[in-house]
A and B are shown apart, each in its own frame.
Chain A
Amino acid sequence: MTVTAAPATRPTADRPDLTRAALSGRRRFTNRLATAAIWGAVLLAVVPLALVTYTVVSKGAGVMSPSFLTEDIPNSYRRVGGGMAPAIIGTLLITGAAALMAIPLGVFGAIYLNEYGKQRPLARLIRLMADVMTGVPSIVMGLFIYIAWVRLVGQFTGFAGALALACLMLPVVIRSSEEMLRLVPEELRQASMALGARKWKTTLTVVLPAAISGITSGSLLAVARAAGETAPIIIVTGIAFSPNWNLFDGSNTALPAQIFRNASTSFPAAQDRAWGAALTLIVIVLGFTIIARFISSRFAIKER
């Protein structure tokens, strides 16, 4: 479109001023204020993260030593020294067992949702309920396992903790795995079918391998979250002061539970141990998170 209006008919003085300077003071001020508020919100989120990290690292590093990682937990909160070895072992065993249960089941559940159920009413219900289950408080899951398992076998065990964590991980694994399966190109499935493979074979040998990196990273994030869960561990695993390698017999303990118990006391020695345990836990959780991020950024399926 060509502009034909002659300058004479449209004097510059009448032309609307579209520069920033023409904004009324009030509008410009409101805009500045809102922009500042948004930046402020971001800073407000950074501050607690920085403070927590700084405090845990500085206080935890003071306690950290080889003996802290290898010695038993003192059975009196007052006593100075001791370590967190039983809790570290407990955390790794309980979280590991929970992952072994929840990840395969969750992945198969995701396969149902994405490969079989799709948009059927049942699949939609399961999807909704998985999202709801993600919001069930961990303490309720602890009570559930206490009633359904601890009462049944008659003792606190590490396995009960693993069951509770598995229940908490399951919906997260299902939903994140489903997202990843959805990214697998339809052509891969069709190609496999065209070669005569059965649907189960297609799913297990073509679809699953194509999505495995995303599933792994999503599952690792779920594991990282579960490793920091405290309430169910306190309710169903009991207390232990020396390492218990057997998940099915006798009480156990985990880092989050030790942090909670030691933080609730007013003894400096116990509080020191809590900081040390917190640093150890954060390193474990962050380790899982970083590995997950690495896998997902390195091997992710590119969206079409």
Chain B
Amino acid sequence: MTLTNKSPASPSTLTRRGSSAVGDRVFSWWTLGTGLLVLAVLGLILITTVREAWPALDAMGLRFLTERTWDPNPATGDAVFGALSFAYGTAISSLIALLFAVPISIGIALFLTELAPRRLRAPAVTVIDLLAAVPSVVFGLWGILVVAPALVPVYQWCHDVLGGVPVLGNLFGPVVSGRNYMTAGLILAIMVTPIITSITREVFSTVPRADKDAALALGATRWEMIRGAVFPHSFGGVVGAVMLGLGRAMGETIAVALVIGGSTNITANLFAPGNSMAAVIVQQFGESTGTFTAALIGLGVVLFAMTVLINVLAQTVVRRAEARMKGSVA
């Protein structure tokens, strides 16, 4: 680039050095700075939260992750901060969410890419977009005031029918209230469906036309074509999408805080109230001081580390799958 602005008013030579050469450099540095802001914020989050959480992490050591007691204000002795039962709640509610959301999301994505009549495609996309647009607190409000009470008889029925089955019966224990792991998982499932659907759909849409036509030409039914051509081709991308959904489910705070019941325990009973890491922070932050606050921030650190890890993995998987798919199209 050797031209500079050549206005009639000041006829100048066409050299690299113009009056606005500085402008170019300033502008490129400025945009770089805003780009680096992302890295700066992520770095600052890590540094500041770890530093603030240190008193609690230092006092508890590894027991912070392995201890199931969470007692900020004991009658005697030191406060105990063990995150295990909250980590358990996060894991169980997220797993329930994925259990429901993954098949449904894959179904919707298949509908949009393979099955939908042209005039139904746009409305179906709108439904998913709207589902993503509803704020999580509204799902929480609906969950605690409508869904939880309405599901109690259903849970009771499950307990009556399946409660006696050995091993499996442990999952369907006595119902205390509608606010439990199961309700939290169901609400989470609604909230992660849009994100899993949108990525899965993108992945499915990159399956080469030729592969699908070939399967159909060999006499495969539509389902056999999906199983034989679409699924193998997009497996990696779908795994990435599920992981992104998992990351979202683990970090979701408000809806879970409202419907999970808010008690510190570890039980196989899906109909028992529990708590999750994110939910505990928002429930207890207001009344915490000192080490208690530090322990809650410590929960945030663990949550941050886990979601960043899952997201990096998921992005890498999705990117690799995308690169491979582009290669196979060519």
Interface of A toward B, CB cutoff 8 Å: 18, 23, 27-28, 30-31, 33-35, 37-42, 44-46, 48-49, 51-52, 55-56, 105-106, 108-109, 111-113, 115-117, 122-123, 125-126, 128-141, 143-144, 147-148, 167, 170-171, 174, 193-194, 196-201, 203, 224-225, 227-231, 234-235, 256, 259-260, 263-264, 271, 274-275, 278, 281-282, 285-286, 289
Q: B41 on the interface (CB 8 Å rule)?
A: yes
A23 to chain B, nearest CB (A): 7
Q: Are A116 and B42 interface neighbours, CB within 8 A?
A: no
Q: Using A123-B35, A199-B24 as known contacts, say yes or no to A38 and B310 having CB atoms under 8 A apart.
A: no
Residues of chain B lying within 8 A (CB to CB) of residue A139: 251, 253, 278, 281-282, 300, 303
Q: Are B285 and A235 interface neighbours, CB within 8 A?
A: yes
Q: Are B144 and A136 interface neighbours, CB within 8 A?
A: no
Interface of B toward A, CB cutoff 8 Å: 1, 3-6, 18, 20-21, 23-24, 26-28, 30-32, 34-39, 41-42, 44-45, 48-49, 52, 103-108, 110-111, 115, 124, 127-131, 133-142, 144-146, 190, 193, 197, 219, 221-224, 226, 244, 247-248, 250-254, 257-258, 278, 281-282, 285-286, 296-297, 300, 303-304, 307-308, 310-312, 315
Q: Using A52-B138, A133-B42, A263-B141 as known contacts, say yes or no to A45 and B131 having CB atoms under 8 A apart.
A: yes
Residues of chain A lying within 8 A (CB to CB) of residue B129: 289
Q: Residue on A with the closest CB to B48?
A: A147
When chains A and B are docked, how far (Å) is the Cα of A30 from the Cα of B228? Answer: 14
Residue of B39, B133, B310 near A286 (CB, 8 A) is B133
Q: 17 A-B Cβ contacts within 8 A?
A: A18-B219, A23-B221, A31-B222, A38-B110, A41-B108, A117-B32, A129-B42, A133-B41, A137-B252, A139-B303, A140-B49, A140-B307, A141-B45, A144-B44, A234-B282, A256-B254, A289-B129
Most chain B CB within 10 A, of A33, A141, A200, is at A200
Q: Are A138 and B49 interface neighbours, CB within 8 A?
A: no
Q: Are B142 and A55 interface neighbours, CB within 8 A?
A: yes
Residues of chain A lying within 8 A (CB to CB) of residue B108: 38, 41-42, 45
When chains A and B are docked, how far (Å) is the Cα of A128 from the Cα of B240? Answer: 14
Residues of chain B lying within 8 A (CB to CB) of residue A112: 28, 31-32, 34-35
Q: Using A55-B146, A132-B311, A281-B138 as known contacts, say yes or no to A34 and B226 having CB atoms under 8 A apart.
A: yes
When chains A and B are docked, how far (Å) is the Cα of A203 from the Cα of B303? Answer: 39
B125 to chain A, nearest CB (A): 11
Q: Are B135 and A228 interface neighbours, CB within 8 A?
A: yes
Most chain B CB within 10 A, of A48, A125, A225, A286, is at A48
Q: Using A135-B248, A143-B49, A196-B6 as known contacts, say yes or no to A259 and B111 having CB atoms under 8 A apart.
A: no
Q: Are A27 and B224 interface neighbours, CB within 8 A?
A: yes
Residues of chain A lying within 8 A (CB to CB) of residue B252: 137
Q: Are B297 and A147 interface neighbours, CB within 8 A?
A: yes
B225 to chain A, nearest CB (A): 10
Q: Are B134 and A49 interface neighbours, CB within 8 A?
A: yes
- List the 5 closest A-B pairs by CB distance, nearest first: A228-B135, A41-B107, A137-B251, A200-B27, A112-B31
